[in-house]
Amino acid sequence: MDWLAHVGFVWLTSLGWIGGLAVVFLILTRFTPCNPGQSWWADPRAAVTDLVYWLVLPLIMQLGRVLLLVGGVLLLYGSAPVDTDWLVRRWPIWVQILAVLLIQDVILYWLHRLFHTRAGWRFHAVHHSPEVLDWTSTQRFHPVNAVLEFAVADVVVLLMGFSPDALVLIGPLNMAYSVMVHANLNWTFGPLRYVLVSPVYHRWHHTAAEEGRDRNFASTFPFLDLLFGTYHMPAGRRPEVYGTSDGSVPRGFVGQTVYPFRGAGAWARRHPIVATTGGLAAASGVAFGVLKLSEPAPVYGASEVTAAKTAPAELPPLPARGLASAVAVSVRRSQVFLGGADGSLTIRGADGTEQAIAAHVQRANAVAVSPDDALIVTGGGDGTARVWSAETGQPLRALRGHGAGVMSVAVAADGWVVTGAADGVVRVWDPAGDLVGVHRTGVPAPVHAVAVSAGGGRVVATQLSMACMWDVPADKVTPLTGQTALAYAVALSPDGCTAVTAGYDGRVKVWDAGGRCTAELLGHDGPVYAVALTRDGRRVITGGKDGTVRVWQTGGQLVRELGGHTGLVFAVSADDAGRRISAAGKDGATSVWQVPDGDVVPASANTPER
């Protein structure tokens, strides 16, 4: 029964840490938060998952250290007696501690980078999955990741001859420090920012924004990132969004434990999931270039075409919970469409009534509404896209074939659909649901945004900090040279002659059919998350982090700034002439404006309770 007593001791120790840390960081984050309002208890399910990790991971780590140490001793010394008269044992304990901290951080730096490559990302994605990052997320590591990273670092220094007392003394220090750098604290350490990792520094590593991807790998000493070219600490700025950006990682402990092993063989063919994130592309130095077929256009068998046209199975309605993972808005119907982290699609009317539908078995990553507001398309982490009636909410068809989570969708007024997946594949579907074109970028990173013209003749897609225009009938791809920041949103006029991209850097760019940038729309304070074009291609509507909605001429002139929308604007919509405009935030709050020839007159506002 000794093992039961040991388990009980470990759990009591963990609970002691949790209780003490909860009090300390509740006070600290109250006065110096990096991201106000992003508290760990905002997502109860994630908090429960983190609690399970706090109770389970210490036991796994102890077992992993023992096994690795035994294996290391046998490998190095075999059955011969181990000579314990190592030179480093003669050093003062404080010198050993400093040496161990530096040696471990070098080891952890490179192991951390390894887990950001394709081979290791599916394990490490578990640690990056929290969208509300706080101290509770410290222990959220896949067991394989934890053992091969942290247990290896401990065992290496023991095999080098350092005293176990050094590790015993370092243990609580490492724990407290790791918890601190994950906490929601607005600390940069000022002049010491190059010496010690700060909470803001590490939050840049966890951000879902591209600029923080594959940066800041050091656990303790950021000068390692300076030395190896991965340092990122922009002055006066703070990261705002967190997570893996692909939405494929399950939310519970069991699901996250089996997640890295689910992508092989027949199971993967039945249940498509995301294979990688953009971490591979950045780490390996692969350039995006253009959307170009890496092989002849495939011939699709009848079975695949039939599957693409199959209507989704009847599923019981599910309520939408928490903030939406995707938003679209209809100005004609005064509706907002919310894709949920639980896979649901919620249709909210102008009167506040809601219809919740079980759309996907994993997160609904993307939602789009057709220019005539007749069709809705959703894209899910389950690798499917689904077309719905905006009027009734009834399913019309399911589009299957992606081998990874669908990250972006767009639909034309005549029913043509384009979908972009987390593995860099773009697919085009005709109004009947037939798959008519597939383009592979060659980079296993999410296609962030797509747009399609009427008739499906032209597609615009963005991936990482690149964008391109694809003439589908001619299979001609034109890069939009000059797009240098992650484009959160794109729009395309019905005739395919005008495209607009909206970037994380706050720049909105207008492109002609030849892929030339004809204008830059500058004025938003921060990232621009939403963009729409009027049917005639003469007006652009944008919405972003600063909470404003702006109306522009495609030549670059600002027509109007529509203020009064609170929070991030994640979706915008306009009628044919751009005189009636609607916007929605990630929280589902919507606003509608009438924009006559004169001054802007707010028409209505529907801000549901949050």
* Per-residue model confidence (pLDDT) at position 178: 93
* Per-residue model confidence (pLDDT) at position 9: 66
573 vs 40, higher pLDDT:
573
Percent of the chain whose predicted confidence (pLDDT) is above 70: 81
* Per-residue model confidence (pLDDT) at position 307: 31
The average pLDDT across 576-592 equals 77
Helix axes 152-159, 164-182, angle to 10 degrees: 150
Nearest one of 586, 12, 509, 53 to 338, comparing CA atoms: 586
* Per-residue model confidence (pLDDT) at position 225: 94
Nearest-angstrom CA–CA distance, 524 and 595: 20
Nearest-angstrom CA–CA distance, 197 and 202: 7
Residue 44 pLDDT > 60, yes or no? yes
Residue 273 pLDDT > 50, yes or no? no
* Per-residue model confidence (pLDDT) at position 292: 28
The average pLDDT across 174-192 equals 93
- Each domain of the chain, given as residue ranges in start order, spans 2-257, 279-479
The chain-wide mean pLDDT, for the chain, equals 79
Q: How confident is the model at residue 599 (pLDDT cuts 50, 70, 90)?
A: very low
* Per-residue model confidence (pLDDT) at position 442: 66
Strand, helix or coil for residue 489: strand
Residue 10 pLDDT > 60, yes or no? yes
* Per-residue model confidence (pLDDT) at position 330: 87
Q: pLDDT tens, 424-457?
A: 889 999 999 999 888 877 666 788 899 999 888 8
Q: How confident is the model at residue 319 (pLDDT cuts 50, 70, 90)?
A: very low
Q: pLDDT tens, 201-259?
A: 999 999 887 778 789 999 999 999 999 999 999 988 888 888 886 667 888 899 999 99
DSSP assignment letter at 529: E
The average pLDDT across 284-291 equals 27
* Per-residue model confidence (pLDDT) at position 492: 94
Nearest-angstrom CA–CA distance, 469 and 480: 7
Lowest mean pLDDT among 131-145, 243-257, 312-326: 312-326
Fold annotation for 279-479:
Methylamine Dehydrogenase; Chain H (2.130.10)
* Per-residue model confidence (pLDDT) at position 434: 92
DSSP assignment letter at 391: T
78 vs 595, higher pLDDT:
595
The average pLDDT across 366-387 equals 92
Sequential DSSP letters for 255-275: HHHHGGGTTSHHHHHHS----
Beta strands in 401-515 (DSSP E): 406-411, 417-421, 425-429, 435-440, 447-452, 458-463, 466-471, 476-479, 487-492, 498-503, 508-512
Hunting for tokens 């919405």 — which residue is that? Answer: 543
For 355, the token pair is: 């219809």
Sequential DSSP letters for 188-253: --GGGTTTS--HHHHHHHHBSSGGGTT----SS-THHHHHHT-----TT-----BS-SS--S-SSH
* Per-residue model confidence (pLDDT) at position 76: 61
73 vs 34, higher pLDDT:
34
Q: pLDDT tens, 72-109?
A: 766 665 644 555 556 788 889 999 999 999 999 999 99
- The whole-model pTM stands at 0.53
Is residue 112 within a helix (H) or strand (E), and if so which, with residue range?
A: helix 93-114
Across 222-231, b (16+ Cβ under 10 Å) vs e yields bebbeeeebb
For 180, the token pair is: 């601190």
Residue 138 pLDDT > 90, yes or no? yes
Is residue 180 within a helix (H) or strand (E), and if so which, with residue range?
A: helix 164-182
